[in-house]
Structure 1
Amino acid sequence: MSKELNLNKNASESNIRMLTYLMFFMFAMTSDAVGVIIPELIETFNLSMLQASAFHYMPMIFIALSGLFLGYLADKLGRKSTIIIGLLLFSVASFMFALGESFYFFLFLLAVIGTAIGVFKTGALALIGDISTNAKQHSSTMNTVEGFFGVGAIVGPAIVSFLLVSGVSWKFLYFGAGLFCLILCWLAYRADYPALKRSSNQSINLASTFKMMRNPYALGFSFAIGLYVATEVAIYVWMPTLLLDYQGDYIFLATYALTIFFTLRAAGRFLGGWILHRFPWQQVMMWFSLAIFLCYLGTMWFGIDAAIVLLPLSGLFMSMMYPTLNSKGISCFSVDQHGSVAGVILFFTALSAALAPLFMGWVSDIFGHVKYGFYLATGFAFLLFLLTLFNLLRDPAAHLLASE
């Protein structure tokens, strides 16, 4: 009987893991296709780069607000209910893209989608903590989750590119995502989720989330993730615009630069668990952040020909940064706080993803070329390296992650 129960538990956890992987795949299909959609929006609606970047920062702002103000729902209502609510809201908003042709109507729908993502993503992030036995397994699972995210980031832009070449509106990407989301919602409803464990009698509400905002470990990991996200979104939001008019010797690489970036990022994330089992995560984060900074620095120093090689290459080094920092930050807290801390981290993640491209677009408009925005991104990469160097030398969260 005990063996049968263990088999059922393992099968249930495997189903939940796959469902979580597919949720992140679906999320990436829409969010990381923005860089391909933005040039189309600029032409269709006669927008500046700063205005067009709203298509990226609008959902990110609402992901941030949703993570901060609704993240506690994963701890209060449970992971399953929270995930289903978020998926349903995402699906409805995606289908509504077929009803309008206004840029501002699209921004409204993206705000709704951002809210939905904030809800189901905090539930999913908390769920990963539930089914992980220790911080090391948590990091390994997060890297696999983000690997599926990376695959979705390849598929989404490829779908949009195919649609545009075929003369079909990019809006069909959202229609397909809405259908996929309904399927995920049904699978989530049928899945057998683990019971939520309580380690204290502390009330779970919005106040508990704001209390988490004052925790130095939650803030420290959130700041590091924010810097990482600022360096990553620079590439998938603005690199297509940077390379748009390139006519040099590496035209093939320039055409597929974003696909190469996403492919290397996805491949690296699937390798993340293997690497983190063999090397201390503090060393991996420091060396990889240094490599990212050098890719940006080389781009700024040697120009557009170097950018075609170095910016996509940075995806390999970016691959393990976000899932590892995210999992370590969440693992610093008890299971019944995972929803709240995931919401706080998601707030800073999405806020950075919203503001960094916005500032890059603003700087690019001021100086007249998108390359100047990448100078700002190089600064973000340098600050991230300094923070990971500090973490390697001081290791401030060692006592909280000792169970690894």
Structure 2
Amino acid sequence: MPRILIIAAIAASYYVFAILLNSVGTVILQSITSFEVSKPDASTLEGFKDLSIALVSFLVASFIPRVGYKVAMLVGLAMVGVLCALLPGIAEFWMIKVLFAGVGTAFALVKVSVYAIIGQLSPDTRSHSSLMNTIEGIFMLGVLSGYWVFSAFIDEVNAASLSWLNVYYLLAAIVAVTFLLVCLAPIDKPEKSNDTGSGAEFLAMLKLTYQPLVLIFILSIFLYVLIEQGIGSWLPTFNREVLGLPVNVSIQITSIFAVSLAVGRLLAGVILARVNWFPFLTVCLIMMAAIMVLSLPLAEDGAGAGATSWLQAPVAAFLIPLIGLTMAPIYPVINSVMLSALPKVQHAPMTGLIVVFSALGGTTGSIITGYVFEAMGGQRAFYLSLIPIGLIMLTLYLFKRVSGQLTGTEATA
């Protein structure tokens, strides 16, 4: 029962933050209409979210074990709950900026804590990978439900209405329930390292980057995020400009990619409880490459011109998003193997590095893909994803060797 309650608490926390973090696209669109802000101004919301995640993770990740994971999660949830409750009453664009800065700050606290707690609950790499994929899969379910939650509060008749802000009252209530769950969960206090100085803990986090395993890990994360952001961010544009689908259909079909990611991670959570991670991810990468090679030739220019619904869309519009099924397990499994190879006292600072490089890598990946898309066209931009797929195969092989050597050395010691 205590284990189930802890898993429920961290899963609920991830679920609510999935809704808040991935609502930025919807909020940008509504802010342009409701507050009459320019597109450049509205786009700054992404920066308020991502930069706060990266900055806070870098600065406080090594200190979180000193205050405790449970306390860090409660502080993050309380911060977001208060901001969500205040926003509809203030109803100003600057307050939305404050909200996303707060959401990013709180998520940095929660993610570092959740990853460390997963380490506490997992005795070996296989169980760690399984639980990690389950939690990340729940995150993707939160992403999906967020679209429906926000759309239910949008006034279709009066687009400029501020009634959509009332969604934050509902989100504040969900955060309150999650806060209670975390309070009740018997989360263990983190183990303390021998050196308890805060400055030494921060320095220890920086020193992690000098380890060969960590350097390979950072490269693997960057390559993965490059692919995911490249496809996820530019798939609607691909559907519109390459396939010629209407804007609404282009966006709707893109949701298949999010569904695929969610299903893929939940299935991987079950599969990885029975098989080794390395051959499983190798098969996933081969299938990713196969999907791109088989589907992109079907993506002829204007193939979806004249389509008015999903049923009239070309086959390529359905095949390409299915890459999410096979790419879904990679990110959580790499994180899991990385954390499993380190002592538990290093999980929090390592998670800080994970969050930092994920946030920075996501932005970089989207920019690179956008540049290639504009310079060489959508098909070639997506074909180029085969390069990072091949490179990930190499880094995973190195990852397996170095992590195995590290684990073997620790076992001998």
TM-score by length of structure 1 reads 0.82
Q: Structure 2: how far apart are the matches of 1:207 and 1:93?
A: 33
Query: When the two structures are aligned, how many residues end up with a matched partner?
Result: 389
Residue of structure 2 in register with 1:8 after alignment: none
1:96 and 1:109 in contact (8 A); partners too: no
| 1:338 matched to 2:347 | yes
Percent identical pairs in the alignment equals 25
Return closer, same or farther for 1:109/1:376 CA change in 2, 3 Å cut-off: farther
* TM-superposed deviation, 1:352: 1.8
**SS of residue matched to 2:323:** helix
Deviates more, 1:220-229 or 1:131-140: 220-229
1:153-168 mapped onto 2 (5 Å cutoff): 153-164=143-154, 166=156
Tell me how far apart the structure 2 counterparts of residues 172 and 362 of structure 1 sit (CA, whole Å): 38
Greater displacement, 106-115 / 32-41: 32-41
Query: Partners of 1:388 and 1:281 in 2: how far apart?
Result: 13
The counterpart of 1:399, out of the listed 385, 397, 405, is 405
1:43-77 Cα offsets, whole Å, 9 max, x none, are 664755x7654433431221111111111133221
1:225 maps to a residue whose letter is I
Q: For residues 73-98 of structure 1, what are the alpha-carbon distances to aligned partners after superposition, in whole Å with 9 as ceiling and x for unaligned?
A: 33221111111111112223333432
Match of 2:336, as an amino acid?
A: S
Any idea what the Cα deviations from partners look like across 1:90-115, whole Å, max 9, x if unmatched? 22333343255555543343122111
* Amino acid aligned to 2:351: A
Question: Are the structure 2 counterparts of residues 252 and 338 from structure 1 closer, same or farther at C-alpha, using a change threshold of 3 Å?
Answer: same
Contact conserved, 1:228 with 1:321, CA < 8 A, in 2?
yes
Instruction: Give the deviation of 1:122 after TM superposition.
Output: 0.4
**Residues 1:329 and 2:338 are matched in the alignment:** yes
1:241-278 Cα offsets, whole Å, 9 max, x none, are 55468996899974532332222221221111332244
Q: Which has the larger radius of gyration?
A: 2
SS at match of 2:350: helix
Match of 1:22 in 2: 12
Which region of structure 1 is more displaced relative to structure 2, 117-126 or 291-300?
291-300
- Residue 383 (structure 1) aligned with residue 379 (structure 2): no
Give 2:209's match in structure 1, choosing from 209, 213, 237.
213
Mapped contact 1:229–1:352 kept (Cα < 8 A): yes
Scaled by the length of structure 2, what TM-score is found? 0.81
**Is the 2:296–2:320 Cα contact (8 Å) retained in structure 1?**
no
| Partner amino acid, structure 1, of 2:171 | A
Unaligned runs of 5+ in 2: 302-313
TM alignment of 1:24-39, pairs within 5 A: 24-39=14-29
1:347 and 2:356 correspond: yes
Corresponding residue of 1:256 = 252
Residue identity in the other structure for 2:205: T
Partner Cα separation in structure 2 for residue 24 and residue 209 of structure 1: 24
User: Would the aligned equivalents of 2:118 and 2:128 in 1 still touch at CA under 8 Å?
Assistant: yes
1:229-378 aligned at under 5 Å gives the runs 229-243=225-239, 254=250, 256-296=252-292, 302-303=299-300, 305=314, 308-358=317-367, 360=369, 372=377
Please give the per-residue CA displacement for 1:355-384, whole angstroms capped at 9, x wherever unaligned.
Answer: 3335556677x66xxx95786565456324
Give the drift of 1:130.
Answer: 0.8
Distance, in Å, in 2 between the alignment partners of 1:290 and 1:35 is: 32
Which whole-Å CA distance do the structure 2 matches of 1:362 and 1:99 have between them?
40
The amino acid of 1:213's aligned partner reads T
Alignment of 1:161-176 (within 5 A): 161-164=151-154, 166=156, 169-176=163-170
Q: Distance in 2 between the 1:343 and 1:349 partners?
A: 10
- Which amino acid is the alignment partner of residue 335 of structure 2? N
Shift of residue 170, structure 1, vs aligned partner: 4.4
Q: Distance in 2 between matches of 1:375 and 1:104?
A: 40
* Structure 2 residue identity aligned to 1:399: Q
Q: 1:392 to 1:170 in 2, by over 3 A?
A: farther
Residue 100 of structure 2 is aligned to residue 117 of structure 1: no
In 2, the alpha carbon distance for the partners of 1:68 and 1:105 equals: 25
List alignment gaps of at least 5 residues for structure 1: 1-10
- Residue 133 of structure 1 corresponds to 123
